[in-house]
Each structure stands twice: as C-alpha cells, then as structure tokens.
Amino acid sequence: MEDLRSTPVSDDPVQRRDLILLEQARSGDLDSFNDLVELYQDQLFALVVRMVPDRDQAADVVQEGFFSAFRNLHSFRGGSVKAWLSRICVNAAMDTQRARKRRPVQPYPELEDDSWQPPAGDEADPERTAVLAERTRALNRALASITDDQRAAIVLYDIEGYDYAEIADMTGVSLGTVKSRIHRGRLALRDRLEGRMELFRG
C-alpha cells in the first residue's frame, strides 16, 4: 500500500483537503470518497459530456470513472486529485468513443435538445437569447462533427485549461500529436462554421 505521506504535500488548501479525503478513503472510509465525488462530479460530467455529447453515455462514463478511481485508490501517485480523476474519466471517455467508432450510430442527435441551450434570464433580450441559442447549437454541432481525438484535445486545452504536457500524459500520445490535434481541430471547427461566423463575431 502506497503511503501518501511520501508524496509532496501541497501548499494549496484545496489539494491538501483532497489528499486528506483520499487518504481517508484509502483506509476504507467510503464517506470520504463520496465527499470527493460530490466535489468533482459536476466538473467531471461537464468535461466528459463535451467529449461524449450524449448525456446518458457521459453519465455512464463518469460513473465508471468513479468506480475505477475507487478500485485504484492505491495507485494514486500524488499530485492533483482532480487531475487524477480527470485522467481516469478522459480514458473512460476515450474508450467509449472507440466503442462508438466500432458500432457507428447516429452522431449525438440530442444536441438539438433544449438542455444544451444557455438558460434565458427573465430580463434577457429575446433576440439575443435566440442568437445565443443558435450559436450554441451551431458550435455543438460543429464540435460533434470533428474527430474524437481533435474534440478531446480542444476540450482539454481550450475549455479545461490543461497544458500540452498534461494532455499528452492523459491521452497517452506525444506532445507533437497533442499540438497537431488542437490546431487541426480548431481549423476543422472553423471550416465547419464557415458562413456562420457572423453568429460569433457579433
């Protein structure tokens, strides 16, 4: 059994709290593990649902990610607990993407669903709300139409804010491949939105 005391203790209070919860979970305290779940389930679902734009599949992926994390508590190697959980969920999401590739189905039909639209406030301008909704729909559709690898790279870099090296570590590819996926993915997005860019420039 690895000993967390041998991992460098962070000055960051959030990381310190996470490490304490993780250590307690390792010693068999389920409540501590569930505290971690509660802390990160929204962020992890947001990450995964952008990679696998299907709510039910994304929920299954996140659940499987937490199962896997619990099974492998002893293999945590220090560092950020959030990054460790993200890595597990990203791997699970990529496995799901691979499985989808083997059994091609309608690519993410539920993107037309209202749950993907920004919430409209009471005082919101209806015209602006409509533009925002259209923009969201167009971007979601474009994101869903690029390759899984490009989408994962863009989500991790542009949306989640991980750097090249962290993404390379998470996805198990070289730094050069990560850069290429990000850059080509952006260009692919823009090509798919050619003619609709006015929605975004306004």
Chain residues in the site for other proteins (CB under 8 A): 1-2, 30, 33-34, 37-38, 41-42, 45-46, 49-50, 55-56, 59, 62-63, 66-77, 84, 87-88, 113, 115-119, 135-136, 139-140, 143, 154-155, 157-159, 163-164, 179-180, 182-184, 186-187, 189-190, 193, 197, 200-201
Cα–Cα distance measured from residue 150 to residue 154, given in angstroms and rounded to the nearest whole number: 6
- Encoding tokens for residue 177? 């491949």
Whether 47 and 89 have beta carbons less than 8 Å apart is answered as yes
Among 72, 67, 68, 64, smallest CA distance to 96 is for 64
Q: How far is the CB of 199 from other proteins (least distance, A)?
A: 9
Nearer Cβ to other proteins (13/74): 74
Nearer Cβ to other proteins (24/136): 136
Nearer Cβ to other proteins (42/125): 42
Q: How far is the CB of 20 from other proteins (least distance, A)?
A: 18
Amino acid sitting at position 34: N
Cα–Cα distance measured from residue 39 to residue 160, given in angstroms and rounded to the nearest whole number: 16
Cα–Cα distance measured from residue 78 to residue 60, given in angstroms and rounded to the nearest whole number: 26
- Encoding tokens for residue 18? 């996470």
Cα–Cα distance measured from residue 194 to residue 167, given in angstroms and rounded to the nearest whole number: 28
Nearer Cβ to other proteins (13/161): 161
Q: How far is the CB of 138 from other proteins (least distance, A)?
A: 9
Q: How far is the CB of 21 from other proteins (least distance, A)?
A: 13
Q: How far is the CB of 164 from other proteins (least distance, A)?
A: 6
Cα–Cα distance measured from residue 165 to residue 150, given in angstroms and rounded to the nearest whole number: 16
